Amino acid sequence: MALHRIEFSLFTTAELYLVSVPLVLTLRWAEVIRYTALWCPDFPRRQLPERQDGSRDLLLQKYKIYKSMSTCHFFTINIIVSLYLMKILLLGEYSRLHNSLKEGLEQLGHQVLLVGTGDSFKQFPSDIDVSSKLRKRFFLNKWWQLVYRLTGYNHFKKDIYKNLLKILPELKGFDVVQLINEDAFCIYPDDEITFYKQVFAQNEKIFLSACGEDTHVIRYYDEGHMRYSILDPFKTYPHLKNEAYYSYKYLQPAYQKLHDFVVDKVSGIIPSDLDYAIPYQGHPKALPMIPNPVNVDKIKFNKLIINDKINIFFGINRLSFYKKGSDMILEALDVIRQKYADKVHISLAENLPYTDYVKQYNSAHIFIDQLYSYDQGFNALEAMANGKCVLTGAEEEFFDYFQLKKAPAINVLPETEDVVKKLSGLIENPEKILEVSQNARRFIEKHHHYKNVAQQYVDTWQKFG
């Protein structure tokens, strides 16, 4: 079990060796090899080249020097460091939150296993893929889709459940388990409860991320506590039954049962942005919000240059078309296309895998995310890290929480007219696009840096677990 950080520099190496001898047989080599020299109080001081990205490469060089030291020293520090490092199991992936968190945790030296389904067309990577392979087999895919339409029975969910049960032996002995959502794998609620019971029983601390729709959040939205929410289109247009189902299903008894089970078992619920932190305010299991992690080492800042036309990008997700305000965004873009035909180029992308989606918006100056949010979702954050001028949720609550004076994004209301107004202002004042772009990158590096966010998670798991 991982322990809190201890100030080992107060001890001599001999003392550390004496207290560590009984632990030799439980050494976890794979977890500590990269950080062997971290706690060595008498580490040899030699000149090593400094690097801008610094700590990890420098530490690896120190390890190579330390490797030549005595076996006693080597065993001592390996054991001490192994007590600090953690084994972490991340269950589910929706927005790339868990992938970025995994990258940050691994940079800190922790061992992480991510289990996911790819989240439909987005195809997010995972260490263990439990998605239904039936969808890749043409005739079986067509057959089970027909069965679903005729009977309502979803065999794809059952196939994911079967895949989860197969890997249960691999999901034990972790210091921390975190669920991306109470409905982490989008299978039948009773099956999910059965799977969770076995996972929870063979691991230690359990935490839940609040970074998407769940029973508590949807009920809060449905009761009208927010000025606007993703449920507004369904109340305005009752005929949108098919899309509304994916949100309102969380108010059904089966999903309420799943919610109650998970909330009862977890040590805490960690919101990832204000659209979920606000509904969870005052909840007995709610913990302080930890912002989404963004890998700023992978996502490089792309300095915007406007020579000719301004490129505007909007990605369409048909599965959440109205919840994102896509209908109003497309209406606004039609107005902009006619109003500024000689000044703008508009690019649309639809239901693309994550990697293709990122490539598609790479040349954009303006990135349009969504309308029904107070804070930024993951797509918006990564676009901001890349240096795009992003139209998204950036309400007064967001500015207050982060104590901002300069706008890192353009707040847009769920109104066609407001989208047109904000876009027009940017097109007529292109210097504003460049200003917001610079602010966005600085904001991401300060508040969403994946290594810093990963450390916030570690601190939270240790404090509240």
Q: Are strands 268-271 and 176-179 parallel, antiparallel or unpaired?
A: unpaired
Alpha carbon distance 281, 271 (integer Å)? 10
Residue with tokens 């049960």: 165
Alpha carbon distance 5, 83 (integer Å)? 9
Residue 254, domain CATH: 3.40.50
Q: What is the pLDDT of residues 161-205, one digit of tens each?
A: 999 999 999 999 999 999 999 999 999 999 999 999 999 999 989
Q: What is the pLDDT of residues 354-385, one digit of tens each?
A: 788 888 889 999 999 999 999 999 999 999 99
> What is the per-residue pLDDT for 318?
85
67 shares its domain with 176: no
Note whether residue 77 is domain-resident.
Answer: yes
> What is the per-residue pLDDT for 136?
78
243 shares its domain with 320: no
Alpha carbon distance 174, 299 (integer Å)? 30
How would residue 147 be classed by pLDDT, with cut points 50, 70 and 90? confident
103 shares its domain with 76: no
428 shares its domain with 318: yes
Considering 84, 117, 144, which residue would you say is the last residue of a domain? 84
181 shares its domain with 97: yes
Considering 69, 84, 99, which residue would you say is the last residue of a domain? 84
Note whether residue 153 is domain-resident.
Answer: no
Alpha carbon distance 30, 441 (integer Å)? 35
Q: How many domains does the chain have?
A: 3
Note whether residue 158 is domain-resident.
Answer: no
Residue with tokens 């992936």: 93
> What is the per-residue pLDDT for 412?
98
66 shares its domain with 209: no
Rounded mean pLDDT, 52-61:
48
Q: What is the pLDDT of residues 315-337, one digit of tens each?
A: 998 888 999 999 999 999 999 99
Q: What is the DSSP letter of 128?
A: E
Sort 43 into a burial class: Cβ within 10 Å, 0-12 / 13-18 / 19+: middle
Note whether residue 160 is domain-resident.
Answer: no
Residue 275: pLDDT over 50: yes
229 shares its domain with 344: no
What is residue 269's three-state secondary structure? strand
Note whether residue 375 is domain-resident.
Answer: yes
Alpha carbon distance 465, 463 (integer Å)? 6
Alpha carbon distance 135, 141 (integer Å)? 5
Rounded mean pLDDT, 93-107:
93
Q: Which domain holds residue 70?
A: 8-84
277 shares its domain with 357: no
Q: Which stretch of 38-42, 71-75, 311-315, 422-426 has the lowest confidence by average pLDDT?
A: 38-42
97 shares its domain with 171: yes
Note whether residue 155 is domain-resident.
Answer: no
Note whether residue 204 is domain-resident.
Answer: yes
Q: What is the DSSP letter of 5?
A: -
185 shares its domain with 124: yes
Residue 370, domain CATH: 3.40.50.2000
DSSP letters of 16-79?
HHHHHGGGGGG--HHHHGGGTTTT-TT---------SS-HHHHHHHHHHHHTTS-HHHHHHHHH
Q: Do residues 195 and 265 touch, judged by C-beta distance below 8 A?
A: no
Radius of gyration of the chain (CA): 24
334 shares its domain with 225: no
Q: Which residues pair with 316 in a beta bridge?
A: 350
DSSP letters of 326-391?
HHHHHHHHHHHHHHTTTTEEEEEEES--HHHHHHHTTT-SEEE--SS-SS--HHHHHHHHHT-EEE
Answer positive or negative: Cα dihedral of 262, 263, 267, 272: positive
How would residue 81 be classed by pLDDT, with cut points 50, 70 and 90? low
Q: What is the pLDDT of residues 12-46, one digit of tens each?
A: 555 444 444 444 434 444 334 434 444 444 434 33
Residue 287: pLDDT over 60: yes
Considering 30, 52, 84, which residue would you say is the last residue of a domain? 84
Note whether residue 97 is domain-resident.
Answer: yes
Q: What is the pLDDT of residues 428-446, one digit of tens each?
A: 999 999 999 999 999 999 9
Q: What angle do CA 196, 201, 204 make, to 5 degrees?
A: 105
Alpha carbon distance 208, 226 (integer Å)? 23
218 shares its domain with 105: yes
Q: Which stretch of 120-129, 192-201, 260-269, 307-316 has the lowest confidence by average pLDDT?
A: 120-129
Across the chain, what does the average pLDDT equal? 85
Q: Do residues 208 and 268 touch, judged by C-beta distance below 8 A?
A: yes
| Helix, strand, coil abundance in the chain, percent, nearest 5 | 50, 10, 40
